[in-house]
Amino acid sequence: MSYTAPVKDMLFDIQHLAGIEQIAQLPGFEEAGLETAQAVLEECAKFNEGVVAPLNVDGDKNPSTWKDGQVTTTPGFKEAYRQYREGGWQGLQHPGEFGGQGLPKTIGAACGEILNSANLSFALCPLLTDGAIEALLTAGSDALKSVYLEKLVTGEWTGTMNLTEPQAGSDLALVRTRAEPQPDGTYKVFGTKIFITYGEHDMADNIVHLVLARIPGAPEGVKGISLFVVPKFLLNEDGAPGARNDVHCVSIEHKLGIKASPTAVLQFGDKGGATGYLVGQENRGLEYMFIMMNAARYAVGVQGIAISERAYQKAVEYARERLQSRPVDGSVNGPAPIIAHPDVRRMLMTMRAITEGCRAMACVAAAAYDAAHHHPDEATRQQNQAFYEFLVPLVKGYSTESSIEVTSMGVQVHGGMGFIEETGAAQYYRDARILTIYEGTTAIQANDLVGRKTARDGGRTAQAVAAQIERTEGELAQRASADAKAVAKRLAAARKAFLDVVAFIVQQGKASPNAVFAGSVPYLMLAGNLVAGWQLARSLAIAEDLLAKDEDANFLRAKIATARFYADHILAQAPALRDSIVEGADSVMALAAEAF
């Protein structure tokens, strides 16, 4: 099935919700207005629709293979990556001084969605490289930056993130990989890392591994972890890859989805130790790795939106073609395309509304990131940083959990044919299933939202978000249309439910931690639902205003209808989530562990 990038919807969000012309007023982004965004997205769509998307099905059927320590990617991937690199796509939102284009995240994130919709497995390689770049930009020495950054930013080399070990998954305090200091200032790294995405492949000349390890004598727990650059190939004096470093891929995983993406088990130090270079200061590795993780968490949220969009397009295509049953209203005398049936329409609208809501939320988060890093006013930067950090677990958690629902619904639209691999619907469902797990499970995102983003500041950031939502409610309530008034009503009910939960967390966090964390994931889902619904509510008001000016009527009416559906069918779930969190906490822990 072909893929068509939703450029028009993306540009609507970028222009009207993110405020790209305001972003273009920020220092460093002067050339990054709407005209630039449109040109970049259209070129990105052309490349991914024509080059990357056609490889998606073949990657699922003919995944990466491992033999004698070497990984061979799906036929066509290497050539597609060469074109990706030569097109400058890796450096889109990275600094010009290292060979990037320095565009805002607001534009870069939209391009990331297009790439991930085209081919989730392929897109994982650039995603991990982006994380490595962010970590080195923030914590790398000038020497490390000069050696590695330009090669990573241009995509000539790729990057990885090495956290997980057989005994240390989400609990990084258990990391055992060790790094022994050498007289020349380097380190010898020994250990095993698992689940390393693109830890070995044939698409680039070098792979730059960022590795968490312990230096002898380091404090126990997470306070004693350091971060190291460990390249696949050591470098010659001219900076070109030379001798092979002592890091080897001993196997790759056989997975439910994202099959073309090689997930490697890496062994460091089998032959005397892998040469590594300390990033930043000793024992601050987790702090630096979180820079990579936060970049990756946002990006994985975008992956959820991307796979939802792909599943939605596939479902619509099938629903238009599949003839089945006479419509209940008798509008067709005989079998009709299943898109005529109310329940199929309900499923398609659910898929569409969730995808557009999550896209709008991610776009607004990206705009906040841009302002947090480039606005000249310190107070404005801090305000936007707090807003962005609050939204990251929502973008990651809500968008990915929703992607499982959306892709599952895509299978359901196909009926029995959805269960048959040849239709393609099942691949999206399988691919989506990892998104709520890697880069921090949904529960970890929820713990972050409860602890760091809500309880720590007494709920102030959450309340500030709610205050913005209340202003939108007021604006909608003043409008003449029934749609605006109905959405305002739903938004108000969801906001009040959200504030009740925030108050519950702040009041009970220390006294009843089990009760609070029993509702952590429902809280994340409520918050994500609310913020996505808020952005669609803003979209409705904007679409009504543009429609009054006789602009693109079909697109704008669809935007209004989608926002209304979201409010009636999805945002309406928020009060029930509030009840389960605030009033249902005791029942979660009521059954003794031994009774299971």
Report which DSSP code applies to 417.
G
Q: How far apart are CA 411 and CA 428, in angstroms?
A: 9
Determine whether 439 is an active site residue.
yes
- Contact of 99 with 150, CB cutoff 8 Å: yes
User: 112: part of which helix (H) or strand (E)?
Assistant: helix 105-118
Distance of CA 332 to the CA centre of its chain: 42
Report, in angstroms and rounded to the nearest whole number, the Rg of the chain calculated over CA atoms: 24
CA distances (Å), origin 418, targets 1, 54, 423, 431, 565: 14, 20, 6, 14, 25
110 CB contacts (<8 Å, ≥6 apart)? Answer: 10, 13, 14, 37, 41, 44, 363
Ramachandran quadrant class, 568 (left: phi over 0; alpha: psi -120 to 50; beta: rest): alpha
Q: How far apart are CA 38 and CA 242, in angstroms?
A: 42
- Contact of 247 with 262, CB cutoff 8 Å: no
CA distances (Å), origin 435, targets 60, 105, 257, 450, 592: 17, 21, 10, 20, 31
Instruction: Tokens for 110, please give them.
Output: 């939209």
Q: How far apart are CA 248 and CA 199, in angstroms?
A: 9
Q: How far apart are CA 26 and CA 354, in angstroms?
A: 31
Instruction: Tokens for 310, please give them.
Output: 């792909």
Catalytic residue among 150, 165, 439, 473: 439
User: 181: part of which helix (H) or strand (E)?
Assistant: strand 178-181
- Contact of 27 with 376, CB cutoff 8 Å: yes
What is the β-pairing status of strands 187-197 and 274-278? antiparallel
SS3 sequence of 249-315: EEEECCCCCCCCCCEEEEEECCCCCEEEEECCCCCCHHHHHHHHHHHHHHHHHHHHHHHHHHHHHHH
CA distances (Å), origin 155, targets 113, 142, 359, 452: 18, 20, 26, 34
First to last CA, the chain: 45
Annotated catalytic sites, by residue?
Answer: 439
